[in-house]
Amino acid sequence: MLEAEGISVRYGPLEAVRGVSFEVGEGRIVALIGANGAGKSTTLKALMGMLPIAAGSLRWQGRAIESTGSSERVRLGMALSPEGRRLFPRMTVLDNLLVGAHVVHGRKRIDHALELVYGLFPRVAERRRQLAGSLSGGEQQMVAIARALMAGPKVLMLDEPSLGLAPKIVAEIAAAIVRINNETGMAVVLVEQNARLALKLAHHAYVYEQGRIIRSGSGAALLADPFVQKAYLGL
């Protein structure tokens, strides 16, 4: 469904992503793992059209999208829950969710999307009238994922959803990711420094090092790979 072929992304002289290729098939959970600064977030921003690619190609359902703008990519079916959540703290949870639905037209479809995210995250439903900034870190992460879901994506991109959260909340968020994927068939691109978690959830995963993909395989295969175990799983 979404294909990157040999993409490079630059910040001026720095080539943060260097000739990376990967594929996100329909209904798949694909993980991108790697250390700080490896280029994972930069890759997601390039997929969303928030950064231009300096080389390579991007295809959505077979069609070239290198010059397609961000909001058009959202309309096509891509949505990002960014690193650090980026909620509007002084707006209510509900208003944050409605921001995510700005490409969705019609009251019925918006209500339907709300129903889906409230079913997935009952705590978000309970807190919907509260200011987003008053929520706990875990609740804010749920709102950030819910906001991306409000766009009704075919591919949901999550940048570090487990970062800084207690194990119990991480488990809740992981369960929600699996449910979204199972129940709606939505594909997920999961960026994580928590390699163990990501590899457990992912059908397929790519390992980033200094802007390059140095390994890829099924989540299970990479969990069993001695190199990955030593470098990323602390074994």
Ligand X SMILES: Nc1ncnc2c1ncn2[C@@H]1O[C@H](COP(=O)(O)OP(=O)(O)OP(=O)(O)O)[C@@H](O)[C@H]1O
**Are 121 and 161 in contact, with CB atoms under 8 Å apart?**
no
Residue with smaller CB distance to ligand X, 93 or 205: 205
Between CA 132 and CA 144 the distance in angstroms is 10
Residues in 119-158 that interact with ligand X by CB under 6 A: none
Distance of CA 69 to the CA centre of its chain: 18
Work out which of 11, 122, 137, 227 binds ligand X, going by CB under 6 A.
11
* Closest approach of Mg ion to the CB of residue 128, in Å: 28
Closest CA relative to residue 186, chosen from 115, 82, 90, 116: 116
| The two structure tokens encoding residue 211 | 């802007």
Count interface residues toward ligand X (CB under 6 A).
13
Lookup: tokens for 32: 């991108």
Nearer Cβ to ligand X, position 36 or 67?
Answer: 36
Q: Is 56 in the site for ligand X (CB under 6 A)?
A: no
For residue 122, count CB atoms less than 10 angstroms from its CB and return exposed for 0-12, middle for 13-18, buried for 19 or more. Answer: exposed
**Minimal distance in Å, beta carbon 28 to ligand X?**
21
Binding status of residue 13 toward ligand X by CB under 6 A: no
Which partner from the list Mg ion, ligand X, none does 37 bind, CB cut-off 5 to 8 Å by kind? ligand X
Which residue, 46 or 113, has its beta carbon nearer to ligand X?
Answer: 46
Contacts with Mg ion, residue ranges (CB under 5 A): 41, 83
Residue 215, beta-bridge partner list: 207
